[in-house]
Structure 1
Amino acid sequence: MIPAILKWSRLGASISLVGLIVLCLGWEIFWAPLRSGGSLLFLKALPLLAPLFGVLRGKRYTYQWAGMLVLFYFTEGTVRAWSETGVTRMLAWTEILLSVLFFASAIAYAKYSGQRYQAALQNAA
């Protein structure tokens, strides 16, 4: 039986990571690119593809390092929310929200999927 915290943190991390990928691509290609017609800044979505399959498969180590990776997206969202206006500001706030959700979910999953927690869970049952 999988504890609820593992199930919900894995689901939250998966949804927010896929959401960040879609947001990065849509933002820089369609919704508010730096130049009309799109810009190469959409390539910022590429690093998010590295942890995608590990997160979807529930690999604990992937959650650990991907939690640090997503802090770059939080930083970008914060800077752009502070300096931009209009649609770009709304997209930046969405990036902040998704990166915080992923970070919190990844930390919770990494913590509660560890051997110490699993051993305590088995001893309690």
Structure 2
Amino acid sequence: MNARHVLVIGLLALAALFIAWFAPHPSPVAELLVFAFPPLALAMGVLRRRRTAPFWAGVLGLAWFSHGVMVAWSRPAERGFALAEVLLALVVIFAASLPGLRARFAKKKA
């Protein structure tokens, strides 16, 4: 499994987490649009090999990581969802960054 597959799986899992987290709320439409739609759209972009989709997944991964830490710290009732968000955000960030890291630290051919 390559980094692109891991990235797509991480983004889809993150979207599923947000759907499970926010769907029981009284009016989940805005929350689902703000939280669940971006990882779904990015997963589609990665699958279609859009060049900028992994970059934006990594950028938004930083925001998802920060959101998860903030919620885990401030709302104990939602800590499980928040820590899952942190874990999935780290997966997304790592998978989005892996091709660039491999290119940067690859052995130069003489």
TM over 0.5: yes
Q: What is the count of residue pairs matched by the alignment?
A: 108
Structure 1 residues 15-55: Cα deviation after superposition (integer angstroms, max 9, x where no partner): 1100011111110013xx4xxx3533222212223312222
Compute the RMSD of aligned alpha carbons: 2.7
Matched, 1:20 2:11: no
Structure 2 residue runs without a partner (length 5+) = none
CA change 1:49–1:110 in 2 (3 A) is: farther
Corresponding residue for 2:2?
8
| TM-score with structure 2 setting the length | 0.79
- Superposition deviation, residue 60 in structure 1: 4.2
Instruction: Report matched runs for 1:17-96 at 5 Å.
Output: 17-30=11-24, 33=25, 37-39=26-28, 40-43=30-33, 44-86=35-77, 88-96=78-86
- Specify the code of the residue in structure 2 equivalent to 1:103: I
Q: Deviation of residue 101 (structure 1)?
A: 0.6
Distance 2:91 2:20 in 1: 19
Moved more, 59-68 or 99-108: 59-68
Pairing partner for 1:100 from 72, 90, 94: 90
Q: Which has the larger radius of gyration?
A: 1
Query: Deviation digits for residues 33-92 of structure 1, max 9, x if unmatched?
Result: 4xxx35332222122233122222444432122211221111111100001113x10000
Equivalent residues of 1:61, 1:110 under 8 A apart: no
Identical pairs, percent: 31
* Structure 2 Cα separation of the partners of residues 38 and 82 of structure 1: 24
Instruction: Give the 3-state SS of the residue equivalent to 1:41 in structure 2.
Output: helix
TM-score (norm 1): 0.71
Q: Paired residue for 2:99?
A: 109
Q: Is the 8 A contact 1:10 1:58 kept in 2?
A: no
